[in-house]
Each structure stands twice: as structure tokens, then as C-alpha cells.
Amino acid sequence: MFVVIQHEVRDPATFWSIVSEEMDHLPDGIALLQSLPNEFGTTEFSLWKTEQMETLQAFVERKLGLVSQACFFPVHAGNAFGLPVAG
């Protein structure tokens, strides 16, 4: 499944430091496909592929919950455009 997360970042320096550190330590079954921050690093949208939304949510909240507010929503792939395809 694909999941989009919107982050409202309270502490950009810490947020982006954690993101940089954790990219090599993602749990099995979770992949970050895109990260789209604004120029100030205070708002970010990301596209993830995950086997279970709960696993992704728990990981993100544990790592980034103190420095950002996250809104998660599963993507309805049947109506989406531009999602990666298996190949």
C-alpha cells in the first residue's frame, strides 16, 4: 500500500537530522519513495510504500513525534496518478 504523510515540522534542524540518520535503518517492509519539503523545511509531504500502515505510523511517530506533527493517509491507488509501478 502507498501512504502519504504530511509533516508540520516544529524543529527543522532536528527533524532533518533524524531523517538523514534513519534512512539507512527503515524497518523491513517500509520504503520512502519521495520526500517533498518546502524551502524552509517546516512542511514536508512524503510518499511511502508499506506492508502495514500501523508499522509505518509507529516508526515515524517514535522517531519524529517530538519535533513534528504528522498526518497519515492511505492512497487510493485506483484513483491516483503517477505512483511507482512494480517492474
Do 31 and 49 contact (CB within 8 A), yes or no? Answer: yes
Q: pTM score > 0.85 for this model?
A: yes
CATH code of 42's domain: 3.30.70.100
Domain extent for 70: 2-79
Q: Evaluate if residue 83 carries a pLDDT over 70.
A: yes
Domain count, the chain: 1
Within 10 angstroms of residue 10's Cβ, the number of other Cβ atoms is 12
Does residue 85 lie within any of the structural domains?
no
| Strands across the sheet containing 43-50 | 30-37, 43-50, 2-9, 68-74
Assess whether pLDDT exceeds 80 at residue 30.
Answer: yes
Q: What is the pLDDT of residue 86?
A: 61
